[in-house]
Amino acid sequence: MTSEPNLSSAKSEGKASVVYVIDDEEPMRLALSALLRSIGLRVETFASSREFLAFPKHSGPSCLILDVRLRGESGLAFQQELARSSLRMPILFITAHGDIEMTVKAMKAGAVDFIPKPFRNQDLIDAVDQALKRDSERLDAEQATAALRAAYKSLTPREKEVMAFVVTGLMNKQIASEMRLSEITVKIHRGQAMKKMAARSVADLVRMAEALSIEPHRTK
């Protein structure tokens, strides 16, 4: 028997998770699909990497179970192809021909696990759960960064300039002197920037600036 993983960890904003499987052996595709569907996951299977690439991709958390040796192609080479593309998802390798050198190469290239055949169902389920959790966290981080960029874009040029001074640790009076503005004007721009960025403190604003790679304003 297999125990169900914590599938709540593999969901992002209510979107169900998807597991993609690329294996040129139909019995293996059917077995993997049945196993993962039995714990409530959506599964899409493919006999080749080309079929997988042509298939519309899910926008929620996902992972790819990839056989190392496919008919007429290499799973490791396809992993490198994916790394050069904009398609990002955790990869779990399965193989009946694995060795230490192959495992190291796959892991260094970003694979999250390398599972030899035959494998225990629970081992595969646990690996898939961890991969989906990782992808969910990646998507959440990307969404947070996108929201942060949108908030920063909403700032006026003057608010952005004030923010750049604030994150250096300058007080309103010092910023006013640098920008040749009145202190009350700086205070207003600073308050608006904090509000639009949803920053509760200067420390929050500093972390946001770092996340956005905003260079602190150099004082004269």
Pairing of strands 62-67, 91-95: parallel
Range of the domain at 22: 14-142
Domain match, 31 and 134 both:
yes
Whether residue 149 lies inside any domain: the answer is no
d(CA 182, CA 206): 23
Contacts of 210 (CB under 8 A, 6+ apart): none
Give residue-wise pLDDT tens across range 87-99: 888 999 888 766 6
189 vs 14, higher pLDDT? 189
Question: How does pLDDT run across 125-167, given as a tens digit for each residue?
Answer: 999 999 999 999 999 999 999 999 999 999 999 999 999 999 9
The residue among 130 and 102 whose pLDDT is bigger is: 130
Tokens (6 digits) for 6: 């914590």
Q: How many domains does the chain have?
A: 2
108 and 206 in a common domain = no
- Contact criterion met (CB below 8 Å) for 96 and 116: yes
Say what the pTM is.
0.74
What is the domain-level CATH number for residue 76? 3.40.50.2300
> Which one has a higher pLDDT value, 84 or 196?
196
Residue 9: its pLDDT value, please?
Answer: 43
